[in-house]
Structure 1
Amino acid sequence: MSAVEAAEQAATRPTNYFYQGDWPGGDYTFFQTAWIVDDLFAAMRRWTTVYGVGPFLVLPKRSQLVDYRGEEIELEIQLAVSQSGPVQLELIQQFSDRPSVYREIFGDRPGGFHHVCTISKAFEETKAHYESLGYPSIARIKGPMKVEYFDTFKDFGHITELAEYSPEFFGAHVRNAEICKTWDGTDPIRMLTRGGYRLPES
């Protein structure tokens, strides 16, 4: 292949500077890394501009019940995901002004790298494994699917999220990854709707 042909071939690929390896195939362990941000839309624009990651798929702002350190609290959050190679990138903004699993490791900082997430077909066994090693569950999302956060901060500098496998949940993330894999650079921020997506108003 000539240099010209190689350049033409490279030009047809999505521009993704953050990760340049192969795309995921089959099952994998850590599928997500997550950041807490104080301005979701500004953060998405920075990721796209600096690292070439996109598009970001934005879920509507929602209220979420969480059992956090023995107390049931309601949090208003909004999140967005994109894909970089085999890893999903999640950005989370919390609007509720109260302590939570999304706030506790940052002190006076507005946010930063927060957790890695793994999907497990053996949720209870994996949970028991973490807890037996001294990493207690500190938060549980209340809903139809099991999702918990474990306090691994002392040894790893981040929280660990555990999500229960289901074909629907896993399939949704595979579809999101495919959207990002074939991204041509258009509409880098996409507000998800029932029929597809719309662009942000500003």
Structure 2
Amino acid sequence: MSRLFGEIRQIGYVVRDLDASVHKWLELGVGPWFIVKDIQTDYFRYRGEDSPVQMSIALANSGDIQLELIQQHNDAPSGYLDFLDAGHEGAQHVAYWTDDYQSLYDKAIAAGFTVLHEGAIGGEQGRFAYFATEFDPGTVVEISDISGPKGQVFDYIKNTAATWDGTDPIRVTP
């Protein structure tokens, strides 16, 4: 438990091949995986500058922890690309979820954290920010607003995983 951010809710992996990574996790029995190809962000900024990141993601839960796989498709500046360019692949961040995004964002900034990249998917209640906290690979901190539809989707993924019988392991979302 982080005194500032709360409970870790997600581990994010940056991968070069989303489909191959999903299949490796399925071999471990984790699923089902919900895949969103070519995410449309409302905006994406890297170190304060707009960046046209193109990416796909896959989400699944193992108990209360959500796993996120992220594949960036272009060379637009991002924390994901920084991670890959440093020779890493795998766990890149831990995420904390909040129903009061702006308050947590402001507390992080007041505590001296700087934004690595940030954006939104699906409107104001789909905001996210990654802070430049990496001291070892995998230690970037993300905060994510779950006060809107994203929170409902995350609950659905968790509940589906809890009763998953191994059928329909890959579910591609339009």
Counterpart AA for 1:54: G
- Pair 1:160–1:94, CA change in 2 (3 A): same
State the partner residue of 1:60.
37
Deviation at 1:98, TM superposition (A): 3.0
1:96-125 Cα shifts (integer Å, max 9, x gaps): 123312121343425221111111233233
2:59 to 81, 84, 103: 81
State the partner residue of 1:131.
109
Distance 2:88 2:73 in 1: 12
Largest Rg, 1 or 2 = 1
1:176 to 147, 153, 157: 157
Runs of 4+ with deviation above 4 angstroms: none
Q: Is the Cα–Cα contact under 8 Å of residues 32 and 89 in structure 1 kept in the other structure?
A: yes
Between the two proteins, what is the percent identity of the paired residues? 29
Q: Which runs of no fewer than 5 residues in structure 1 stay unpaired?
A: 1-27, 194-202
Q: How does 1:1-202 map to 2 (within 5 A)?
A: 29-49=7-27, 51-64=28-41, 65-109=43-87, 111-143=89-121, 144-145=123-124, 146-154=127-135, 157-193=138-174
Q: TM-score, normalised by structure 2?
A: 0.84
Distance 2:169 2:128 in 1: 28
Q: TM-score, normalised by structure 1?
A: 0.74
Distance 1:90 1:155 in 2: 19
> How many residue pairs were aligned?
165
Q: Is the Cα–Cα contact under 8 Å of residues 136 and 150 in structure 1 kept in the other structure?
A: yes
CA RMSD in angstroms comes to: 2.1
Deviation at 1:62, TM superposition (A): 2.8
The residue matched to 1:186 in structure 2 has which SS? coil
Deviation at 1:69, TM superposition (A): 0.8
Greater RCO, 1 or 2 (C-alpha within 8 Å, sep 6+): 2
Q: Which runs of no fewer than 5 residues in structure 2 stay unpaired?
A: 1-5
